[in-house]
C-alpha cells in the first residue's frame, strides 16, 4: 500500500471513533503536533488513543470528507472536514471542524503528524 492509500484508509475507516482501528494505524512512536483553537498540543500514542476514546463517548458517528490529498515519498498532506452525529441528535450531521495535516508514514503506519484545525 502507498503512503497515500494508508492515510486515505485511515480517515475512511472511522478510526477517530474506533480505538481498535486507531491502535492498529498508529506507529508505536507516533507524535502528533496539533495547532488547534485551544492552542498547541503535542500528543503521543497513548494521548491520541485517549482522545479517540473520548470522541467515541461523545459521538455516534464520524465522517471525514477529504477535499485535498497529496503524496510526496513517505509524506501525505490531507485537507478535510470532520462531521459528527451526537447521541442527543443522531439524525443531524454537524460539522465539527476543518483540518489540514501532514503525515509521515513509517513501517506502513502514521508516524509523525503536523496538524492544524479550525472550528466550523
d(CA 43, CA 26): 12
Supply the pTM of this predicted model.
Answer: 0.91
Could you give all domains of the chain from N- to C-terminal order, each with its CATH number? 3-119 (3.10.450.50)
Tens-place pLDDT, residues 75-93: 999 999 999 998 888 889 9
d(CA 119, CA 88): 20
Q: Residue 14: pLDDT above 90?
A: no
Give the up-direction half-sphere exposure of residue 74: CA atoms within 13 A in the CB hemisphere: 10
Amino acid at each position: 500500500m502507498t503512503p497515500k492509500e494508508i492515510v486515505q484508509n485511515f480517515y475512511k475507516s472511522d478510526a477517530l471513533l474506533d480505538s481498535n482501528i486507531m491502535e492498529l494505524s498508529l506507529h508505536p512512536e507516533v507524535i502528533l503536533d496539533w495547532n488547534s483553537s485551544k492552542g498547541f498540543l503535542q500528543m503521543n500514542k497513548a494521548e491520541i488513543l485517549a482522545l479517540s476514546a473520548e470522541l467515541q463517548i461523545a459521538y455516534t458517528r464520524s465522517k471525514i470528507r477529504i477535499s485535498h490529498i497529496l503524496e510526496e515519498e513517505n509524506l501525505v498532506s490531507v485537507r478535510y472536514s470532520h462531521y459528527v452525529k451526537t447521541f442527543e441528535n443522531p439524525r443531524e450531521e454537524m460539522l465539527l471542524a476543518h483540518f489540514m495535516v501532514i503525515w509521515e508514514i513509517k513501517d506502513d503506519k502514521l508516524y509523525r503528524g503536523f496538524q492544524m484545525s479550525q472550528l466550523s
